[in-house]
Structure 1
Amino acid sequence: MRHEKMEVWQRSKQLSVEVYRELKDLRDFGFKDQITRSALSIPSNIAEGFERFTEKEKFRFVSIAKGSCGEFATQTLIGIEVGYITEAVGQHWRNEAMTLSRMLGSLLKALDMRPQR
């Protein structure tokens, strides 16, 4: 299956786009760089994993994407608390990150059950 057809990739790509658009004028470049990188890491690692040759490599990159969900959710919470992100936007992002994390967890379980190549 191509990663572009997967709902988890489509949703994570859209989340990344939302983050870039919402924070385009943020002047704290360190924070902006970190949170956009973690959001971008989710669809990017899914794509990279699905371009790899072995199931082991695919599993590894999907696992990294799942970790990036937690990183992004934490950075979003901090962004809310320091006033960079509104409560409404931040809660939407955190909810989406946790949904993506659950989806990736299910994907990892499915990948773990496949025969290794």
Structure 2
Amino acid sequence: MHNFRQLQIWKEGMAITKATYLVINNMPSTEKFGLISQISRCVVSVPSNIAEGSSRSSNKEFSHFLSVALGSLFELETQVLLCVDLGFLVLENTEQLIKDIIQLQKKISTFKKSLI
């Protein structure tokens, strides 16, 4: 069992969640039940699954939850890029967020390998 609050991947997941919420506040209200809702759910899923997985009794179970968190990060990256393509977000305002998402994808993948 791991203390999720001490995991760097959880801390970075929380930071990405906060940053994402700040970015999506600038999106059109017409997307409240569309992309905004979808983005909110998947970004919250990242640190939540890391925390939930850390409570599991085996590394295999923890690895499963890390896979879910990783999938949510790829979903988030896709949705942010889609919002830029649709003109809902400005690329300059999302560049750092996208870099952070990609960096966390790599860190979670590396951490998962260390559990095996």
Q: Same fold (TM over 0.5)?
A: yes
Q: Which has the higher contact order (CA 8 A, sep 6+)?
A: 2
Question: Residues 26 and 89 of structure 2 are in contact (CA less than 8 Å); yes or no, is this contact kept in structure 1?
Answer: no
TM-score (norm. length: structure 1): 0.88
**Cα distance 1:25–1:77, how it changes in 2: closer, same or farther (>3 A)?**
closer
Q: Which residue of 2 aligns with 1:9?
A: 10
Percentage of identical aligned residues: 27
Name the SS for the 1:41 alignment partner: helix
Equivalent residue pairs, number: 112
* Aligned pair partner of 2:85 in 66, 81, 87: 81
> Structure 1, unaligned stretches of length 5 or more?
113-117
Q: Which residue of 2 aligns with 1:18?
A: 19
Question: Residues 46 and 70 of structure 2 are in contact (CA less than 8 Å); yes or no, is this contact kept in structure 1?
Answer: yes
Q: Which residue of 2 aligns with 1:42?
A: 46
TM-score (norm. length: structure 2): 0.89
The equivalences for 1:55-66 within 5 A come to: 55-66=59-70
* Aligned pair partner of 1:52 in 50, 56, 80: 56
Where do 4+ consecutive residues of structure 1 move more than 6 Å?
none
Give the superposed CA RMSD. Answer: 1.3
> Structure 2, unaligned stretches of length 5 or more?
none
